[in-house]
Amino acid sequence: MDTVAVGVLGAARGMSVGGLIDKLPNARVVAVCDRIEKRLQHGLSQTERATGFDDYEAMLREPIDAVVVASSPPDHARHVCMALEAGKAVLSEVPSAHTLEDAQQIIDTVEKTNGWYMFGENCNYYGYIRTWKRMIDEGILGEVVHAEGEYIHDIRHMTWNAPDGTCLTPQEAAKVPGSSKSWRNAYHPIRYITHTLGPLLWLMEDRCTSVSCLSTGCRTAPEIGSPDLEVAIMNTESGSPIRQLCGFSVPHKPGGQWFCVYTTKGCVEWKRSNDDSPKVYIEGQDVSDKIKADWDMSPGIGPLKDSGHGGIDGAMVWEFIEAFRNGQPSPIDVHAGMDYTLPGIYASMSAEQGGVRLDIPDTRVSRIV
């Protein structure tokens, strides 16, 4: 395939990916779809060659090769499956599924259509994650025995939507007629786990087998209904437990991700703030504590090094287009996407039951529902 023709569903986050696709020599965005006119026009302004649609089914009838699904998470399964059934490849935004039933529907549709599906976990492409992976593969760090990840993102200002798609606080929404709750309202933050769990599972080459989760409850913003924080402990096939913390309504600056990996030979850790530094400790070095490291965020993969989120968006887009265009397997296939997503769904179920431990099925060998 010389040039991949791409349609984008969801002109907000979707065009931050679609705009990068248009910069590649072997791909172009030819269609943009959004039901909100303001967002659609914004999306079309980011590309010179696309036709606009407010009807997803109509866009899928166009001669496009692939679809970027960047709609709201509750709609991911329906929109992904519609694209696959229409014979289109899919790059899906995170998380891959909203419910267990959604997850099984996606898996079934990929298998039924023999479709090409990539889960868009951009954080797998952080430069330091790639460096840690090389250090593990080369034996410098030894075997991973425990890993931790935290994702804190204060989204209290994004829990309602105005009719034109603008994000609002509950207080602002009360003054704007026609406003509605967004998917983030009353959302379990642990369900948005893939940005910190995905990179760890990728470098560990592992999957989670069970999870127990506890919630703080809605203390900071009871009017939103989203717990301040949720903390999950997961076991893995390798027997190396993983701790995950996710929060959507707790005051915290700056927000973002933090990772730490403990191994049989030492540990590596990302910085907690802009004033902090990444750190590394390897047993036998002449240091009394972890020393500062100079790992770069940018993965340096492909021609889009100056893209969003420190270059990781461009690396993900590059691998998506090149793998699909050349008939190669998906870099993050449907089962990997479920490995990253399902622990968050089961963790939210555990939190609702006071922390009971729940098993997580392997979608490669068993059904979810």
Q: Which domains does the chain possess?
A: 4-122 (3.40.50.720), 124-298+333-359 (3.30.360.10)
Does the global pTM surpass 0.85? yes
Task: Dig out the tokens for 336 from the structure.
Answer: 């990997």
pLDDT tens for 10-64 read 999 999 999 999 999 999 999 999 999 999 999 999 998 899 999 999 999 999 9
Tell me the mean pLDDT in the region 263-284: 93
* pLDDT on residue 287: 65
pLDDT tens for 151-172 read 999 999 999 999 999 999 999 9
Query: Is the distance from CB of 242 to CB of 236 less than 8 angstroms?
Result: yes
pLDDT tens for 216-226 read 999 999 999 99
- 13 three-state secondary structure: helix
* Of 56, 52, 49, 47, residue with least CA distance to 81: 56
* Of 74, 11, 2, residue with least CA distance to 40: 11
User: How many helices and strands in the chain, by DSSP H and E?
Assistant: 10, 18
